[in-house]
Every structure is written in C-alpha cells, then in structure tokens.
Amino acid sequence: MEKICSVKECKNIVHGRGLCDKHYKKWQRYKDPLYTQLHHKTNTRSYSSWEHMNQRCNNVNHKHYKHYGGRGIKICERWKDFKKFYADMGDRPKNLQLDRIDNNGNYEPGNCRWVTSKINNNNKRHNIYGRKLTIKQVQEIRKLYPTHRQWWIAKRYNIGRQAVSDIVNYKTWKYA
C-alpha cells in the first residue's frame, strides 16, 4: 500500500520525505511544506484591507468614497505598493480593522493601526457630534477640562457637550 503525505488533510501519495510531490517541492524550496499556504492565509487579510483602503480613497463609485477620497483622505506614496504597506503594517490580526488615528489624516505609517470595530466606531461617532477631532485636539480638551466648563469646551471645538463629556470620561478616544 502506498503511503499518504504526512501533511494534515493532504491525501496525496508520498513522493519523498513522507511528503507528496507538491509539499515535497515546498519543503525543498522553503524548508517548510506549508510555506505558501500559511503565508498566503495571513497575508490575505492585510491585502483585503489594503484593497478596501484603495477603493475608499480612489474609486469615486465606492459607496463610502465621500468620507475618504471625496474629502481629501489620501494614501501615501509608499503605500501605493502593497508590499510596502505589508512591511509597515504586517498581518492584520483576526477581527481587527485598519484605523486612522487622526481621522483627518492620511493613510500613512504612523497614522494607522489595527483596532477592533468597536474602537473604530467610537472614532466615527464623532461625526454625529458635528465634526471629527484630531488626537491632538482630544488631548487639549482633556487638559482644559479641569479648569474649564464642558459647555465652554464644546463651543470652542464646535462639538456637542456630550462629546466633551465622553472624551473627558474616556468613553471615547480611550487610547488618545
């Protein structure tokens, strides 16, 4: 009886070193019979984020274009190449999304991170209050809070009083 490849769930006949022809070739090349498979899987999540980022910023027909490319959000020169984006951001962890720290900033190293959809939506919620804040403004608001009234801060930053309350109580912008 012929032996079956030792790779889990592979039913092919052994070619060499307990591996089938396909997996043996990968072992020869990468010293890992699963090399491409694993690499491909992790890399795919990052690629799909990169692809969506491009769509939001460059495809005028994308349903969210107006919130991205339409209001001047750009992708930096370096990240037009997926390989460089991948080198900077690495694998996208499961269930996390690409987030811009400063919502008015571009897609570029230093302004992007992987976050849960909850944090991402927290940031987006500032839209409801009229406008988006930058991380710097959030930090300023927290510095002003002990000595200024919330309504005064709200007026100064053109946001709602609830938004100020959420910021100073760390209900939003938890990581700013």
Cβ distance to Zn ion smaller for residue 20 or 141: 20
Choose one: 16-24, 109-117, 124-132, 163-171; the region binding Zn ion (CB under 5 A): 16-24
> Which residue from 155, 93, 107, 106 is spatially nearest to 129, judged by alpha carbons?
155
Does the footprint of Zn ion cover residue 24 (CB under 5 A)? Answer: no
Contacts 24+ apart (CB under 8 A), 144-151: none
Piece of 4-12, 47-55, 65-73, 94-102 that binds Zn ion (CB under 5 A): 4-12
The single residue among 13, 23, 121, 146 that binds Zn ion, judged by CB under 5 A, is: 23
Contact status: 176 vs Zn ion (CB under 5 A): no
**Count of residues that bind Zn ion according to CB under 5 A:** 6
Residue 5 found at the interface with Zn ion (CB under 5 A): yes
State both tokens at 157.
């930053």
Residue 7 interacts with Zn ion (CB under 5 A)?
yes
d(CA 18, CA 24): 8
* Shortest Å, Cβ 28 to Zn ion: 13
Nearest residue (CB) to Zn ion, 23 versus 92: 23
100 is a contact residue toward Zn ion (CB under 5 A) = no
Name the residues that contact Zn ion, by CB under 5 A: 5, 7, 10, 12, 20, 23
